């Protein structure tokens, strides 16, 4: 079964290592009146391993044996945190996916993280120029151009340093344990610029919809009580 890996971002074959039924409920529902049928609903958790990067994922899904086929299952990823790739601008998304593909190669991962930061700067209106000739200048410009907090800029600047380290022949190299930190810092910036605003827009729209529906319900006339 092809699924997008939450670690490397690629569509790969996921090997399901095990499943646990978290809860079970049984309901009796009408079926070909006057007959009734029992339906058993299971809340299932499963662990999978990506064939591309060996990353482990934890997902949950609902299973009604009497009513569903495997293709009907909707997976909800709990770990790693599900990131909506569609919320990213095209160029940023491509660079982000490219970075995730190389988590097994720390030096190359750091270099691609730097390329992702460059794409973010360009998307935010800070391309490479005489005014901003280097990546650190461009990142610092995001503070005033996009309102990025200085703490996030400092994290991005450290990623830039890792990028420089990964791109040169040096006795000091980017190591496996550096990869999660680099990814965390990059994703913190993406959260602020893209995922956070997109989530806010979705939640706000859902809130307005619920509010509108609630106000459209006719309330009993107090005088009739």
Q: Is the model's pLDDT at 66 over the cut of 80? A: no
pLDDT at 102 over 60: yes
Q: Binning pLDDT at 50, 70 and 90, where does residue 127 land?
A: very high
**Each residue's pLDDT tens digit, 130-180:** 989 999 999 999 999 999 999 999 999 999 999 999 998 887 899 999 999
Say if residue 132 is exposed, middle or buried (CB neighbours under 10 Å; 0-12, 13-18, 19+): middle
What is this structure's pTM? Answer: 0.72
How far is C-alpha 220 from the geometric centre of its chain's CA atoms?
44
pLDDT at 124: 96
Report pLDDT for 104: 83
Given pLDDT bands bounded at 50, 70 and 90, which one contains residue 34?
Answer: low
In terms of pLDDT, which residue wins out, 110 or 55?
110
Name the band, by pLDDT with cuts 50, 70 and 90, for residue 26. confident
Structure-token pair, residue 219: 């309330």
DSSP secondary structure letters along 104-133: TSHHHHHHHHHHHHHHHHHHTT--S-SSS-
């Amino acid at each position: 079964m092809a699924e997008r890996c939450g670690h490397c971002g690629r569509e790969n074959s996921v090997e399901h290592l095990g499943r646990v039924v978290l809860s079970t409920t049984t309901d009796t529902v009408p079926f070909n009146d006057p007959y009734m049928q029992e339906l058993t609903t299971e809340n299932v958790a499963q662990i999978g391993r990506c064939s591309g990067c060996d990353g482990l994922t934890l997902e949950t899904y609902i299973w009604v044996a009497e009513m569903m086929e495997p293709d009907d299952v909707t997976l909800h990823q709990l770990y790693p945190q599900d990131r909506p790739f569609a919320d990213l601008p095209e160029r940023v998304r491509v660079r982000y996916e490219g970075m995730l593909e190389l988590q097994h190669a720390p030096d190359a991962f750091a270099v691609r993280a730097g390329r992702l930061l460059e794409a973010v700067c360009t998307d935010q209106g800070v391309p490479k120029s005489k005014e901003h000739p280097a990546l650190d200048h461009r990142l610092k410009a995001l503070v005033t151009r996009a309102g990025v907090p200085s703490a996030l800029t400092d994290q991005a600047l450290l990623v830039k340093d890792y990028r420089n380290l990964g791109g040169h022949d040096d006795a000091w190299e980017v190591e496996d344990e550096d990869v999660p930190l680099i990814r965390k810092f990059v994703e913190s910036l993406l959260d602020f610029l893209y995922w956070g605003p997109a989530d806010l827009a979705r939640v706000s729209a859902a809130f307005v919809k619920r509010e509108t529906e609630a106000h459209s319900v006719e309330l009993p006339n107090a005088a009739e009580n």
